Amino acid sequence: MGLIQQDIAIDMGTSFTRVYLRGKGLVLSEPTIALVETNGQENFVHYIGEDASMMVGRAKEEWKIISPVQDGVIEDFDIAVSMLTYFIRKAIGKHNLVGPRVIIGIPSNISQVEKRVIRQALRSAGAKTVRLIPQVFAAAKGTGLPVYEPEGNMVVDIGGGMTEVAVISLTGSVVSKAARIGGKKMDDAIMNYIKREHNILIGERTAEDVKLDLGAALPLETERRVLVRGRDIVTNLPQTSEISSTQVYDALKDPCMSILGLIQWVMEHTPPELGGDIMRNGIHLTGGGALLLGLDRYIAEELGIPVLLAKNPMDCVISGLGYLADHYEMLERESKRGFFREE
Ligand SMILES: Nc1ncnc2c1ncn2[C@@H]1O[C@H](COP(=O)(O)OP(=O)(O)OP(=O)(O)O)[C@@H](O)[C@H]1O
Ligand SMILES: [Mg+2]
């Protein structure tokens, strides 16, 4: 087993990292976080991914949770390398001596320098070769769209940190736009709302739980309520308050409108023939944020275009990248012909 060439695909998202092993499928899906001890100038990584997530609130107070990837860009190089090394070993097995060939998804709007940082991080983590693939293309492939046809298809990938909208035709994206709006912005909107209206500061996790429980892009038919626990901003003491689904809907209006605005911008900049294809084929939603209740219906009603929520939206990017890992030789051939070119 020690000298086998393995090919893997990695989707290192703001919230989750997913790894696909060629011939095996999705082998790992863990939070993109590390629990780190900061000791003067040095960082010592104690736990990564699922392990770090389980230790939150149980570890020493000085240890910090660090998310080394923000919106598809590596913000903390050393921690990203530790994390990639750990995930790659976990995926391919500790005893393999040959570095894997790695395919990784990237946002389409990142700079040359940011691309170089991703390559370097993966090489430091043991990758033999690195291929960067636009993640929105992978999302389109992963949701089953005919990306090799001259037909236009629109994909909207709503992740934790970012939303990327692209019109894809013949394996290239014709028009695309990305912005830092996603699941985390929705959580922030809920946090800010509760702070403003209830004078209570809640944590990110609580905000996300409220979103998963009551969040919707359209008003719920039957109003629901939950209790949230936080800290009173005046007295600084622990406090609980009740929040309704209508309030959460109010809080989420802004981020939903921003996502809609991004889609409208791309629609307006799409060549008319491809626009016609999209009107016919619909808009395809992927990414975890797409699971927000009613978001598909909200976009469809606002734009008058059919909207289709992908099956397993959070796994579309890794499935698309995984397809390329399973067809690595085709990917190499196509790259020579100019497809998947990295500008
Ligand atoms: N049912 C749901 N309703 C609303 N949001 C959800 C739901 N399920 C998951 N999410 C959100 O989806 C986000 C994670 O999605 P995903 O895994 O696609 O992001 P990512 O790939 O890590 O991030 P990015 O692509 O922005 O770097 C989180 O913010 C999570 O709260
Ligand atoms: Mg993502």
Section 174-188 average pLDDT: 94
Here the tokens at position 252 are 């989420």
Give yes or no for residue 131 CB within 6 A of ligand 1: no
Ligand positioned closest to the Cα atom of 159: 1
The residue-averaged pLDDT of 55-67 equals 84
Q: How far is the CA of 133 from the centre of ligand 1 (A)?
A: 20
Burial 193-209 (b: 16+ CB within 10 A, else e): bbeeebebebeeebbbb
| pLDDT value at residue 343 | 39
Q: For residue 150, is pLDDT > 90?
A: no
CATH homologous superfamily, domain 140-181+254-314 = ATPase, nucleotide binding domain (3.30.420.40)
Residue 30 CA, ligand 1 centroid: distance in Å: 12
Q: What is the mean pLDDT of the chain?
A: 93
Cβ(287)–Cβ(159) under 8 Å? yes
Nearest atom, ligand 1, residue 135 CA: 25
CB of residue 185 inside a 6 A radius of ligand 1: no
Cβ proximity of 148 and 171 under 8 Å: yes
142 lines ligand 1 (CB under 6 A): no
Query: Where in the chain are the domains?
Result: 7-32+67-138+317-336, 140-181+254-314, 183-252
Q: Which amino acid is at 203?
A: G
What percent of the chain has a predicted confidence (pLDDT) above 70?
A: 97
Looking at the CA of 315, name the nearest ligand: 1
Q: Is the CB of 208 under 6 A from ligand 1?
A: yes
N residues, the chain: 343
pLDDT band at 308 (very low <50, low <70, confident <90, very high): very high
Pocket test for ligand 1, best of 155, 187, 291, 316 (most atoms within 8 A of CB): 291
Q: Is 211 in the pocket of ligand 1 (CB under 6 A)?
A: yes
What does the pLDDT read at residue 339?
Answer: 58
pLDDT digits (tens, 9 = 90+) for 228-241: 999 999 999 999 99
Please compute the mean of the pLDDT values over residues 74-102 and round it to a whole number: 92
The pLDDT value recorded for residue 109 is 87
> How distant, in Å, are the alpha carbons of 5, 222, 224, 257, 259 from that of 250?
52, 15, 14, 11, 15
Is there a shared CATH topology between the 7-32+67-138+317-336 domain and the 183-252 domain?
no
189 lines ligand 1 (CB under 6 A): no
159 lines ligand 1 (CB under 6 A): yes
DSSP single-letter state for residue 126: T
Ligand 2 centroid distance, CA of 163 (Å)? 8
- In this prediction, residue 59 has a pLDDT band, given cuts at 50, 70 and 90, of confident
Decide: 259 in ligand 1 pocket, CB within 6 A.
no
Q: What are phi and psi of 310, to 5 degrees?
A: -65, 155
> Model pTM?
0.94
CA nearest ligand 1 atom 15, residue: 288
13 CB under 6 A from ligand 1? yes
Q: pLDDT value at position 2?
A: 65
pLDDT in tens, 263-286: 999 999 999 999 999 999 999 999
The average pLDDT across 63-80 equals 91
Topology adopted by domain 183-252? Actin; Chain A, domain 4 (3.90.640)
For the Cβ of 163 lying below 6 angstroms from any atom of ligand 1, the answer is no
Q: Please give the number of the atom of ligand 1 that sits closest to the Cα of 32.
A: 22
Tokens representing 314 are 């959070």
User: What CATH class is the domain 7-32+67-138+317-336?
Assistant: alpha beta
Contact, 317 vs 105, CB < 8 A?
A: yes
Q: In testing the pocket of ligand 1, which one of 15, 110, 210 has its CB within 8 Å of the most ligand atoms?
A: 15
Question: What value does the mean pLDDT take over residues 43-63?
Answer: 88
**What would the mean pLDDT of 161-168 be, rounded to a whole number?**
95
CB 159 within 8 A of CB 12: no
